[in-house]
Amino acid sequence: MASFIASPAWQALLAHRDALAGQRIERMWREDPARGEALTFPCAGLAVDLSKQRLARTSASLLANLARERGLPAAIERLFSGARVNASEDRAALHTALRGDERVVLDGTDVLAEVQRLRERMRVFSQAVRDGQWKGATGKRFTHVLALGIGGSSLGPRLAIEALGAEADGPEVRFVANIDAAELDRALAGIDPASTLAVIASKTFTTEETMANAKSVRAWLVAALGPDAPARHVIAATANAEAAADWGLPDCNIFPFHDWVGGRYSLWSSVGLPIAIATGMPRFERLLAGAHAADLEFRSTPLEHNVPALLGLVGVWNRCALGLASHAVLSYASRLESLPAYLQQLEMESNGKHVGADGAPVDFATCPVIWGGTETPGQHAFHQWLHQGTDAASCDFIVVAHPMGSDRAHHEILLANACAQSEALMTGVASDEAWRACTGDRVSTTFVLPRLDAYHLGALLAIYEHKVFVEATVWGINPFDQWGVELGKSIAKKVLPALRGESPALDPSTSHLLSVIRRMGEAG
Ligand code: F6P
């Protein structure tokens, strides 16, 4: 597919940008006080306020023209109907089917029936763990879950369990993603193997970090409870059931999902089992329901007020028309602490691409750097850079209308700060003292969730998933593969034997670095 750069719709958008260039967003607000209502859109119970973006009322239709020109409506249908949109891996990307209720036939199989069957297994198992029917080898109830997995096999469940923490009335879930043994040590500290269930989440069941952690946990269980313990204490969520069986798990401990579920889209599959165990299957299903509501709106709402479409189009606008290379996610909710990390994988692993889906190099910038933090602590750390740094970033403010803690007064201060920061970024401040001046005119979107509950969290995450898809569609890239992460993995396989005393041929820079590390290690 040809680059979007030369397309008439993009050229019209560049002319639109130039026409707006002399106007500050603040001035657009003064001239059009109803701008807020015009540029705030509902989706699945959320409100998304685009009025602090560098957009005019007419921008949405120009952006929608670009989407149409890039074939977005047809691309959405291809996504939802199970077309092989992941061309480099020749796979569909049907994560929407995991939370949907429509019949989708893929390679002659009714996906919906299969999804419902797997979900029923999740329900039965999570309930059995929660009510103590599925017990450990010594007859104890499970009080702890070790969730072993990395990337998409960890970030989603971690985010959801943190976010729904107040409603988590099941066993405590501890996450182990890193290969650094310090993380496993911390997770195992103070817990009893007899009342611990391990969930190995790995799509491939080959990821080095996860398999090493799984092996260590198995040894920990066997040392305490004997060789038969893993059959009661370890389960797997994987698309490679054969490897899980080879690892020693009985069929009933393996919760499969399909290879058409991408790792960073797998939260909705059996990878979500820790969520169901911690918060109950009904809450996990509310998460799915919120995501499904966002899916329906994405599929059916006209592009001019289709929230995921507009967010993706504004992402392209900010990156390619305004040249913003950095995007900050500002969570005004302690319980959304993991959201920036989750979105970092979702967006950067999906759209951090330098060639189009056809393999030809792109002639434009793709995914910005995604980063962020929990607010208000971030205000006392990196907001200085947002306000006065030499590079401008776009920001997403995530705000929850209902209080999340016991003290309403705290929540009011939290909300006041969220509103103040987005205003300050937009208005800036003039001053005779140069060090006090803030240029302002820095763009942001504010997402307002009525409550931080499973339904609205599901909707928020699905909206972001579709935003990423829209950007990829305009850019003509494949958001569903991640070949870039393979190179480092294969080099690590050569470096490890060298660390262990063998002498494989290594790049001289790596040999040098290893010798420095060895010297420091020997020096104690
Ligand atoms: O880092 C690459 C990646 O493949 C991610 O896409 C994925 O979420 C993660 O590794 C974990 O992979 P797996 O679920 O196969 O263990």
Residue ranges per domain, the chain?
97-283, 486-523
Using 50, 70 and 90 to split pLDDT, how confident is the model at 69?
A: very high
Q: Is 240 in the pocket of ligand 1 (CB under 6 A)?
A: no
pLDDT at 197 over 90: yes
Atom of ligand 1 nearest to the CA of 262: 6
Largest CA distance in the chain: 75
Distance from residue 201's CA to the centre of ligand 1 (Å): 10
Distances (CA, A) of 107 to 67, 84, 260, 268, 523: 29, 11, 12, 21, 60
Q: Residue 14's pLDDT is what?
A: 98
Residue nearest to atom 2 of ligand 1 (CA): 485
pLDDT at 1 over 80: no
Distance from residue 10's CA to the centre of ligand 1 (Å): 35
Distances (CA, A) of 460 to 30, 101, 290, 400, 456: 30, 19, 8, 12, 6
Average pLDDT over residues 291-311: 98
The CB-side HSE value for 515 (13 A sphere, CA atoms) comes to 7
Q: Residue 192's pLDDT is what?
A: 98
Of 28-37, 149-158, 160-169, least confident by mean pLDDT is 160-169
pLDDT at 502 over 90: no
Q: Are 80 and 291 in contact (CB under 8 A)?
A: no
Q: Residue 438's pLDDT is what?
A: 95
pTM tops 0.75? yes
Q: Residue 483's pLDDT is what?
A: 94
Average pLDDT over residues 351-379: 96
pLDDT at 293 over 90: yes
The CATH class for the domain spanning 97-283 reads alpha beta
Q: Which amino acid is at 203?
A: K
* Structure tokens belonging to residue 441: 């005119």
Residue nearest to atom 16 of ligand 1 (CA): 202
Atom of ligand 1 nearest to the CA of 153: 14
* CA atoms of 490 and 224, how far apart (whole Å): 35
Q: Is 153 in the pocket of ligand 1 (CB under 6 A)?
A: yes
Q: Is 183 a catalytic residue?
A: no
Q: Which of 349, 375, 465, 471 is catalytic?
A: 349
Q: Is 349 a catalytic residue?
A: yes
The chain-wide mean pLDDT, for the chain, equals 96
Q: Residue 501's pLDDT is what?
A: 84
Of 315-319, 346-350, 406-410, 519-523, least confident by mean pLDDT is 519-523
Q: Residue 190's pLDDT is what?
A: 97
Question: Which of 88, 91, 204, 240 to probe ligand 1 with, by most ligand atoms within 8 A of CB?
Answer: 204
Query: Which regions of 113-218 does DSSP assign to beta strands (E)?
Result: 144-148, 172-176, 196-201
Distance from residue 207's CA to the centre of ligand 1 (Å): 7
Distance from residue 153's CA to the centre of ligand 1 (Å): 7
Question: Which of 482, 486, 489 to probe ligand 1 with, by most ligand atoms within 8 A of CB?
Answer: 482
Q: Which residues contact 351 (CB under 8 A, 6 or more apart)?
A: 366, 367, 468, 471, 472, 475, 477, 479
Residue nearest to atom 9 of ligand 1 (CA): 151
Q: Residue 323's pLDDT is what?
A: 98
First vs last C-alpha separation in the chain: 57
Q: Residue 2's pLDDT is what?
A: 82
